[in-house]
Amino acid sequence: MAELFRSNNPVLKEKLFAGPIAAGETMTIQGTVNKTGLLLLLVVIAAAWTWGLSHSPTPEAAYPWMIGGALGGFVLALVTVFKNTWSPVTAPIYALLEGLFLGGISAVFEKSYPGIAVQAVGLTFAVLFVLLLAYKTGLVRATRGFKLGVIAATGAVMLVYAANVIMSLFFHSQISVLYSSSPLGIGISVVVVIIAALNLVLDFDMIETGSRMSAPKYMEWYGAFAMMVTLVWLYLEILRLLSKTRRR
């Protein structure tokens, strides 16, 4: 059984499925789906706030909310990863904070590229449903090799992004190809979008496995949180990709 977890999504690890379980209080797929839907609703509500501020007579008022949402969401994500039993509380707060950030950043892109936000949202959900269908029909399987490949690719992307942040903060330079609308820049964005999308398969697999193993009930919130982390990343990468294609 342990083999199922050794090469999986870093947000979902084997030890997370062990814990005190009350009678009848175990993780279910339907419960996780319901909580994912609730988190998505919270994201939309918070995003509507900063989106509205960005389109008000004083759009600069949205920036503190957007920056606070980004920083707060990052902190809450780390807290949730290391204190998964807190996820029934931290996951909804994370969703609200990420909503503040997404609403603001979407408005920024929308002003430069009208219609891009709706396109990015549509593509994000299209990718979600296509991969869910492929997973349920067996077209895509979360084999050990698949998991190792996706995790290695995700780790490589995160290292490049971390290096870019460090260069920006301390050396006042950036990895220019990450922002370029050249064929290479667009190609890199396409690859990153694919990697982000494939992380959804890992999420599906781990939620299904957790339900089958009768994981503690709070893991429904943690599974929903993991899905939100992936969906937020996927949306941002699609937004970046669409902006590059618009600039060409």
The tens digit of pLDDT for each residue in 155-178 reads: 999 999 999 889 888 877 888 888
What mean pLDDT is reported for the chain? 88
Largest CA distance in the chain: 59
CA distances from 210 to 3, 32, 39, 195, 196 (A): 13, 10, 19, 23, 22
pLDDT tens for 129-160 read: 999 999 999 888 888 999 999 999 999 999 99
Helix (H, G, I), strand (E, B) or coil at 215: coil
Measured from the Cβ of residue 248, the count of other Cβ atoms closer than 10 Å reads 9
Q: Is the pLDDT of residue 2 over 70?
A: no
Mean pLDDT computed over 2-6: 34
pLDDT one-digit tens code per residue, 42-75: 999 999 999 999 988 888 889 999 999 999 999 9
Q: How far is it, in rounded angstroms, from Cα 94 to Cα 229?
A: 9
Q: What is the pLDDT of residue 16?
A: 53
| Assigned token pair, 75 | 């902190």
Around 105, how many Cα atoms within 13 Å sit in the side-chain half-sphere? 22
How far apart, in whole angstroms, are the C-alpha atoms of residue 217 and residue 66?
Answer: 32
pLDDT reported for residue 27 = 92
| Tokens coding 109 | 């892109």
Nearest to 18 by CA among 79, 77, 84: 84
CB 228 within 8 A of CB 34: no
